[in-house]
């Protein structure tokens, strides 16, 4: 039996995700998304990844979701109300239950995960081992040594996204319909 | 922590991912579809952190760092695209955007 905090935050995350998927109001969906992301951040804390938990709350629940709420309220779209068309509902239910059963089988009943020895570093990762720590310092050390090239690429990606967004949102009279 | 195993976290991450996928398939509002995509990314990061913790290596956690970076950039570009679409067509319902089909 897993401990109470895990159960609580797992239920919170899944419930909020359900709210996100099912609510017909986009603002309610966004609220569910924020709650789900906070739940994921709490699971990060339970996994001793404190730095990532804080980062998740700051970047996702803070910046990204505020951006989402801005756009939702700016566009002020209305969703069709009432029940889902039966085709959509059937597709959604079938997808959810088939894949959820698959997830439970793969991670629980097939026994593949529990056969993996806990705490053993797989041989692929033991070439250049980076011991798991809770300190934010170990992130910085890895980012500037082993993962320097991905870090540079991520920085470049942010620049490209910045330029792209500016050119997308510029009012260009030639492309007006 | 003592009583939770890797399988518990993977099941949670898997269910979260499946919920996100269901939302992407069911919903017609592009903004909500986009949030469901973000939910799938969050589920993937949860699985990465769980593997990282239980294998006692830092690599998965560092990968999560990059996933968050890419997701933030992706959200900015995607929302700009949706706003541009709304300005041109006046809707964000995906079943109203059938110009290529008709």
Residue B14: closest CA among A17, A125, A52: A17
CB A7 within 8 A of CB B8: no
User: What's the confidence (pLDDT) of residue A124?
Assistant: 65
User: What's the confidence (pLDDT) of residue A123?
Assistant: 67
**C-alpha distance from residue A57 to each of A52, A65, A74, B42 (Å):** 9, 10, 23, 12
* B86/A161 CB distance under 8 A: no
Q: Which residues contact B84 (CB under 8 A, 6 or more apart)?
A: A168, A169
Q: Is the pLDDT of residue B24 over 80?
A: yes
**Shortest CA gap B76–chain A (Å):** 7
Q: Which chain A residues contact residue B39 at CB under 8 A?
A: 17, 20, 33, 36
Residue B93: strand, helix, or coil = strand
User: What's the confidence (pLDDT) of residue B38?
Assistant: 93
User: What's the confidence (pLDDT) of residue A11?
Assistant: 94
* A138/B58 CB distance under 8 A: yes
Secondary structure letter of residue B101 according to DSSP: T
Q: How far apart are CA B37 and CA B20, in angstroms?
A: 6
**Shortest CA gap A85–chain B (Å):** 10
User: What's the confidence (pLDDT) of residue B59?
Assistant: 85
Q: At what angle do helices A136-143 and B59-89 cross, to 10 degrees?
A: 80
Q: Which residues contact B100 (CB under 8 A, 6 or more apart)?
A: none
Bridge partners, A131 (sequence order): B57
Q: Average pLDDT by consecutive 10-residue portion of chain A (177 residues)? A: 84 94 89 94 91 91 89 81 78 88 84 66 65 81 89 94 89 59
DSSP secondary structure of B15-83 = HHHHHHHHHHHH--BHHHHHHHHHHHHHHHHHHHHHHHHHHTBSHHHHHHHHHHHHHHHHHHHHHHHHH
CB B55 within 8 A of CB A124: no
User: What's the confidence (pLDDT) of residue B2?
Assistant: 57
CATH for B6-91, options being 3.30.365.10, 1.20.59.20, 1.10.287.3510, 1.20.1060.10: 1.10.287.3510
* B4/A46 CB distance under 8 A: yes
Q: Which chain A residues contact residue B81 at CB under 8 A?
A: 168
Token pair recorded at residue A54 = 């804080």
Q: Which chain B residues contact residue A116 at CB under 8 A?
A: 6
Q: How far apart are CA A27 and CA A38, in angstroms?
A: 17
Tens-place pLDDT, residues B28-38: 889 999 999 99
Integer-rounded Cα radius of gyration of chain B: 17
DSSP secondary structure of chain A = ---HHHHHHHHHHHHHHHHHHH-SSHHHHHHHHHHHHHHHHHHHHHTT-HHHHHHIIIIIIIIIHHHHHHHHHHHT-----SSPPHHHHHHHHHHHHHHHHHHHIIIIIS-TTTTSPTTPPPTTTSSS--B--S-HHHHHHHHTTTTHHHHHHHHHHHHHHHHHHHHHHS--GGG--
* B46/A44 CB distance under 8 A: yes
User: What's the confidence (pLDDT) of residue B14?
Assistant: 93
**Chain B contact for A119 (CB, 8 A cutoff):** yes
Whole-model pTM? Answer: 0.88
B14-40 core/surface letters (b: 16 or more CB in 10 A; e: else): bbbbbbbbbbbbbbbbbbbbbbbbbbb
Tens-place pLDDT, residues B45-91: 999 999 888 888 888 889 999 999 999 999 999 999 999 888 888 88
């Amino acid at each position: 039996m897993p401990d109470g905090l895990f159960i609580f935050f797992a239920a919170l995350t899944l419930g909020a995700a359900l709210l996100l998927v099912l609510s017909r109001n986009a603002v309610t969906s966004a609220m569910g998304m924020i709650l789900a992301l906070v739940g994921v951040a709490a699971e990060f804390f339970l996994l001793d990844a404190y730095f990532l938990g804080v980062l998740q709350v700051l970047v996702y629940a803070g910046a990204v979701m505020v951006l989402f709420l801005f756009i939702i309220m700016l566009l002020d779209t209305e969703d069709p109300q009432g029940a889902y068309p039966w085709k959509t509902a059937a597709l959604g239910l079938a997808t959810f239950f088939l894949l959820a059963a698959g997830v439970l089988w793969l991670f629980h009943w097939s026994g593949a995960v529990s056969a993996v020895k806990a705490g053993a570093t797989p041989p692929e990762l033991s070439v250049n081992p980076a011991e798991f720590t809770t300190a934010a310092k170990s992130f910085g050390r890895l980012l500037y040594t082993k993962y320097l090239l991905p870090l540079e690429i991520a920085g470049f990606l942010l620049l490209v996204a910045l330029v792209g967004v500016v050119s997308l949102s510029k009012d260009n009279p030639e492309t007006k319909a | 922590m003592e009583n939770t195993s890797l399988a518990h976290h993977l099941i949670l991450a898997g269910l979260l991912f499946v919920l996100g996928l269901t939302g992407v398939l069911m919903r017609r509002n592009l903004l909500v579809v986009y949030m469901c995509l973000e939910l799938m990314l969050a589920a993937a990061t949860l699985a990465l952190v769980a593997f990282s913790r239980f294998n006692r290596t830092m690599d998965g956690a560092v990968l999560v760092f990059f996933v968050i970076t890419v997701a933030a950039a992706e959200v900015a570009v995607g929302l700009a695209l949706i706003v541009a679409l709304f300005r041109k067509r006046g809707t964000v319902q995906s079943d109203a955007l059938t110009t290529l089909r008709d």
